[in-house]
């Protein structure tokens, strides 16, 4: 494909990027009770999301003794917190040059990055596909539905799959997500996430993360 950078591609992608729901600089963080359910087991703990000068926000989970479960809950808490951080487009995509790719059968427009295999798709002012290199692996995220808020959208149902950057071979099983958010003090906070995937025996398994009694930090 011949790469032809366009201001239209930049404008399209930037508008969708800035339409994502994020917390403003006044967001204080929050505490929550955590319940993790999977394969008939249930664990309970406490969670805190608080401001962090390096990453924007950090998450902590206590009162879960099982290390694998603790790691899983921490991972999801970190994922949702890091995506709510408000970062200027110019900072996040400094140096990136954008161009239009193909338009798919659903009307989503592909946005390519010069010199990279990373690319995105945009439809109805939302980023509906992400394909990018994260920590030496490519992740592909397809978004199928979203929550519409007055100040931006939040992904509702989506999937993700990782692949080897050299061979393109899939690494691990595809995961299907469903996220539910609740208004807490004027801010949207994740209160439930379910992840459906396959275990090592190719059997269906669902992980359920529930956050209740959510309260903003003072």
Q: Give the angle 147-185-88 at the CA atoms, nearest 5°.
A: 60
Domain ranges of the chain: 7-216
Q: Is the pLDDT of residue 168 over 90?
A: no
User: In angstroms, what CA-CA distances link 158 with 8, 142, 145, 185, 213?
Assistant: 27, 5, 7, 27, 26
64-103 residue pLDDT tens: 999 999 999 999 999 989 999 999 999 999 889 999 999 9
Q: What is the pLDDT of residue 30?
A: 98
Sheet holding 187-198, edge to edge: 56-62, 41-52, 30-38, 204-216, 187-198, 170-184, 152-163, 137-149, 126-134, 119-123, 109-113, 98-103
Task: Say if strands 56-62 and 119-123 run parallel, antiparallel, or are unpaired.
Answer: unpaired
Using pLDDT thresholds of 50, 70 and 90, give the confidence band for residue 161: very high
pTM, 2 dp: 0.92
Buried b vs exposed e over 101-138: b needs ≥16 C-beta within 10 Å? beeeeeebbbbbbeeeeebbbbbeebbbbbbeeeeeeb
């Amino acid at each position: 494909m011949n790469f032809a950078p366009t201001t239209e591609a930049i404008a399209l992608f930037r508008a969708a990027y800035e339409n994502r729901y994020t917390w403003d600089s006044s967001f204080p963080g929050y505490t929550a009770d955590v319940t993790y359910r999977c394969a008939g087991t249930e664990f309970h703990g406490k969670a805190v999301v608080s401001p962090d000068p390096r990453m924007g926000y950090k998450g902590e989970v206590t009162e879960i003794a099982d290390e694998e479960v603790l790691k899983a809950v921490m991972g999801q808490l970190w994922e949702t917190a890091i995506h709510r951080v408000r970062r200027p487009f110019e900072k996040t995509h400094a140096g990136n040059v954008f161009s239009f790719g193909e338009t798919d059968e659903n009307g989503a427009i592909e946005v390519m990055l010069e010199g990279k295999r990373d690319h995105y798709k945009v439809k109805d002012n939302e980023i509906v596909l992400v394909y990018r290199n994260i920590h030496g692996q490519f992740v592909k995220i397809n978004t199928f539905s979203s929550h519409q808020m007055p100040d931006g959208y939040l992904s509702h149902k989506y999937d993700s799959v990782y692949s080897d950057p050299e061979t393109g071979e899939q690494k691990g099983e595809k995961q299907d997500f469903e996220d539910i958010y609740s208004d807490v003090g004027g801010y949207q906070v994740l209160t439930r996430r379910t992840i459906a995937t396959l275990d090592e025996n190719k059997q269906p398994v669902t992980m359920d993360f529930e956050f209740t009694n959510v309260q903003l930090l003072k």
